[in-house]
Amino acid sequence: MLIATDWDDVGVECFRPFVEYVNGINGNAVRYEDLDSYYEMDKAFGVKQEELQDVFLDFFSGELLKKVKAVEGSRELYEGLRKKGHELVVVTSRSVIETDPTLDQIERLHPGLISNAYFADLPFIDRGRGSKKDICKALGVDVLIEDSYENLDSCLAHIQRGFLLKRPWNQNIVGLPKKVTRVEDPREILKYF
């Protein structure tokens, strides 16, 4: 099977250090748990979407990107899936300027486990790269592992199964479709293979 995994907050801790970074810049006291909407995090920080995008790009272009750690359990998940003969690819919405640092990060945190990485557009920013749905469809992805229900939902018609890693921004999603399973820990996914 071809299994696609999102990168931020699925393979690598992203938004916990990002919250600390933003709070350090603007003096806010936003908590990771306050991020209750994936594509509306600007509201939690009290800034415009464009401003948050700029801060996000600064965060990803800085030294902090080299210091972030793998999501607990992600390495065991990826190793287990590879041992069972599955191919793993990353499908992320990170900016194209983050391509090399992202590829370096994937190899540093999960060496030899990910066969390729694809960079998709955000739903609200068209960079001409295609959406996650477009990429998953073109690749023939069988399974998608995500933390954003919006991204997972957009791909459901083209995949066999989806896993939603529990995060503050997807807790308000109830009544998941049959082929979507919410998990607390990435390692839980292994029991389905």
The CATH architecture annotation of domain 2-13+70-192 reads: 3-Layer(aba) Sandwich (3.40)
Confidence band, pLDDT 50/70/90 cuts, at residue 4 = very high
For range 67-75, the mean pLDDT:
94
CATH 3.40.50.1000 segments of the chain: 2-13+70-192
- Residue among 106, 8, 22 at smallest CA distance from 58: 22
Distance CA 71, CA 5 (A): 12
What percent of the chain lies above the pLDDT cut of 90? 60
Q: Which helix (H) or strand (E) holds 152?
A: helix 149-155
Q: Report the predicted TM-score, pTM, of the whole model to 2 decimal places.
A: 0.92
Cα radius of gyration rounded to whole Å, the chain:
16
Confidence band, pLDDT 50/70/90 cuts, at residue 50 = confident
What are the tens digits of pLDDT across the range 123-179?
656 566 678 999 999 999 999 999 999 999 999 999 999 999 999 999 989 999 999
CA torsion sign for 106, 33, 170, 182 is positive
